[in-house]
Amino acid sequence: MNTINVNEDWLQVLGKGLVTLPADWRRQLGLEQGTMLKAKFTGESIILKPLTKTAPYRLYSDEEIAGFLKADKLT
């Protein structure tokens, strides 16, 4: 079992609510680009947990969405 060091850091909220997690945290947790996280808001805290199972939904590309919208138009 991997042991994760308990760390604290100051993170800045950027435009559109984006926050960058420190690289060493991402490495320790095995987070890669595209990893889905479950967020839980409790009191004054936010808890982020990586999804260990496949998400019950899928993300579509802009091209796929455009195709869906084109196919959905009424004639």
Count up the domains in the chain and report the number. Answer: 1
High-pLDDT (> 70) share of the chain, %: 87
5 lies in some domain: no
Given a cut of 90, is residue 52 above it in pLDDT?
Answer: no
58 lies in some domain: yes
The CA-CA-CA angle for residues 28, 31, 35, to 5°, reads 160
What pTM, to 2 d.p., does this model score? Answer: 0.57
| pLDDT at residue number 48 | 93
Domain span at residue 25 reads 15-72
Average pLDDT over the chain reads 87
Q: Please state whether 58 falls in left (phi above 0), alpha (psi between -120 and 50) or beta.
A: beta
| pLDDT at residue number 57 | 75
Query: Residue 16 in 3-state DSSP?
Result: helix
Name which of 8, 38, 40 is nearest 25 in CA terms. 8
- Torsion sign (Cα): 15, 37, 30, 25: positive
**Given pLDDT bands bounded at 50, 70 and 90, which one contains residue 55?**
low
